[in-house]
Structures are given as C-alpha cells and as structure tokens.
Chains A and B, each alone.
Chain A
C-alpha cells in the first residue's frame, strides 16, 4: 500500500510539474510501474484520466499518453505471459524503448546518453525492488 500511494502521489505531482518545472516523462514511468504492480481497474482508470489531463495541459494530441502507457504494458505483459519469461533485461529494454519513443515524439528534453543511463538504472532498481516486495 505504501508503494501504491507513493506512485499515485508521484503521478499527481508530475501532472503539475512535468513541462512546467522539468522536461522529463515522469508520469509515463510512474504509471508503467503502477500498472505493473497493481492490476486493479481503479488504477487503469486513474492512469487513463490523468494521462488525458496531462495531454490537455501540455497541448499534445489528446489520448497519446495513456495510449503509449497501455500499449507498452501490453507488450510487456504479452511477452511475459506467452513466452513464459520474466527476464528483467527484456522488461527494462521494453520500458526503456517505450520511454525513448514517447520522449522523442513528444519533444521532452533529450540528453540521450545521460538520460539513458539514469532511466536504465532507475528501471533496474525499481523492477528489482518490486520483485523483492512482491515475493517477500
């Protein structure tokens, strides 16, 4: 519950601060983590509504943020369930690739090299933390 409330708070925080205070796709990463850890309908609805609100405020095409988040997670889910694998490297690769495409097409700040390292490490750390938390 602590992790969930932290992620929800981070998502709400990013609605105000993303593209106002910093140009980093925090909402995308946090939402992906949230639906990966909590498969409740309420969280899907929250991500959908907040994603559209974010699109409205940053003047990007409406619906593109929830579309990218759900499509990325679907890819990850299908790979894990139908190939029977929970390889962390593949999960990080899918998350990173989705993040990169989302950032590039929506004109977020792209200091590629530095961001790639930060995001890769963050995904690795978050995924390891979630796995330990889930199976503790």
Chain B
C-alpha cells in the first residue's frame, strides 16, 4: 500500500534527524554512566516509588497456589526423604570421625517478587524488592521454604535480579543424597540438567537433587542440602565417562510471591 509523496521539507527532515540522534546519544550516555552514584540514587527512588504497585499487580496474576492435600503430602515426603538421607550421612561421618560438619551462621532477608523475565509458567529470572539497602550481594542464594529459588545475579539500590535454576546462566554443584552421586546442575530454559556425573555413580528416576554447597570465604554462596528438583529421566552412554539427568523443579516458580535471601549476618 503506497501513499502520495509529500514535498520534501529539508528543515523538518534535518530537525527530526538531529532530534533523534540527540536522544540516541543521550541514551548512550545514560547507558555508559549507569553505575554512577547519581544514576544509582535515581534508580533507587524510582524503584521505591513503583515497588508497592508492582507488588500488588504481580500478586493479581501470580497468586500463591492452594495446594491439594496429595501434593502437600508429596512435598512433605520428598523433604523427609532428603532429611533422612542427610542425617544418615552425617551420622556415618560422626561415627567415622573423619568428616567435619560445617557451621554456617547466616541471616535471612524476606522479599516480594515484583517482576519476572522469560516465560510466565517457567520464569528464568525474578525481580525482587530487596537490594543494596538490605545488604544483598551478588551470589547469595534465594530460597522458599526448603527449596532453592535461585541466586542473586544483579543488585541495585532497592531491587535485585534472581536467576532461577532454569536460567541457562545458572549452575551449581549438586548431589543425589540417596546414592551420593555428584555433578553440576545447569539450567536449560524449560528444565535443568544434572550433568558431569561420573558413569559409575548411580542415578535413580524420581531421586531428589539437592545442592552440594559452594560457600566462599566471605560466607556468600549456595549452602548445602537445599532441595532443587526431581530427576525425570537419565541419559547414560556406557562409552562416555559421564552421564546426565533431566531434572524438573518441585516447586511452581510462577506461583511464588515471597522469597528469602540467605545473607551473611
């Protein structure tokens, strides 16, 4: 569909192009100076103003799931199974007197989810209303109940971005307590992959994967024994030194409203 040509107005043409180039340059300047104190403070003010409305709007669509009794029972049993396996190993370690149980003293900061990135049903990241003002730092784990929601990826004055285990940029050391199999858990958009598991280790379908723990010297990092998900299927090739498994999350990320960040005290 074509329209009749207007008589070109050189002044208007030039004016519009100058205006557009000016705003593009302004945007570039803002982009380059995004980490300056002025930009950060302004960001904090804007985030503070919009925090409550966004919290409310998020809760409209993402109401906390009223679980059926069977689902609740299933979750409780999964948690009991993990606890049993962990206590058994700790008992064995204490008996042998060769293992050292680590004692992490941590704090907990509660936060509301105010946004998400990726698909609504399987979000790859959340935006939460806790940031530098609440002493949040990059790398801190985020949990809901006994389940891993993700880890802090980006922090600003009042908001932070949490990447979920479904995010392709997420990876953590993980283990299967029932058999002692260890590997790396990485995200893959719609599911997780428990990868680099030695071929001689046993993996079981339905097994609960938990974090192995990777806490740095400053106390920041994912703590051990937090539930991540359940094995759905196993991929094993006898000629390969490693095997992997597809892991699905146990909790429904799209139904979360409140999460907790494990901080250093």
Contact = CB atoms under 8 A, between A and B. Distances in A.
B94 interface: no
Interface in B184-241: none
Given A21-B61, A73-B20, A109 B26 contact: no
Given A20-B114, A44-B23, A71-B24, A59 B120 contact: no
Q: Which of B8, B13, B39, B116 has the most CB of A within 10 A?
A: B116
A70 interface: yes
Interface stretch (B42-50, B64-72, B84-92, B132-140): B42-50
- Taking chain A's interface residues, is the majority helix, strand, or loop, or is none over half, making it mixed? helix
B159 interface: yes
Given A48-B23, A74-B17, A21 B58 contact: yes
B154 interface: yes
B113 to A, nearest CB: 9
A109 B119 contact: yes
Nearest to A75: B20
Q: Which of A56, A77, A78, A109 has the most CB of B within 10 A?
A: A56
B30 interface: yes
A61 B48 CA distance: 18
B151 to A, nearest CB: 15
Contacts of B116: 19-20, 23
Interface in B82-129: 114-120, 124-125, 127
Contacts of B1: 88, 128, 131
A16 to B, nearest CB: 6
Contacts of A53: 46, 50
A82 to B, nearest CB: 9
Interface string A16-46: 1101111100000000000000010100100
A18 B216 CA distance: 36
B156 interface: yes
Interface string B19-43: 1110110111111001000010011
Given A48-B26, A81-B8, A131-B1, A16 B54 contact: yes
Contact of A109 (B16, B31, B120): B120
Contacts of B16: 39, 77
B27 to A, nearest CB: 4
Contacts of A51: 27
A77 B61 CA distance: 39
Interface of B: 1-3, 5, 8, 13, 16-17, 19-21, 23-24, 26-31, 34, 39, 42-43, 46-47, 50, 53-54, 57-58, 60-61, 114-120, 124-125, 127, 154, 156, 159-161
15 contacts: A20-B114, A23-B118, A41-B19, A53-B46, A57-B54, A59-B159, A59-B160, A63-B30, A63-B34, A67-B28, A74-B24, A81-B8, A85-B2, A107-B124, A135-B3
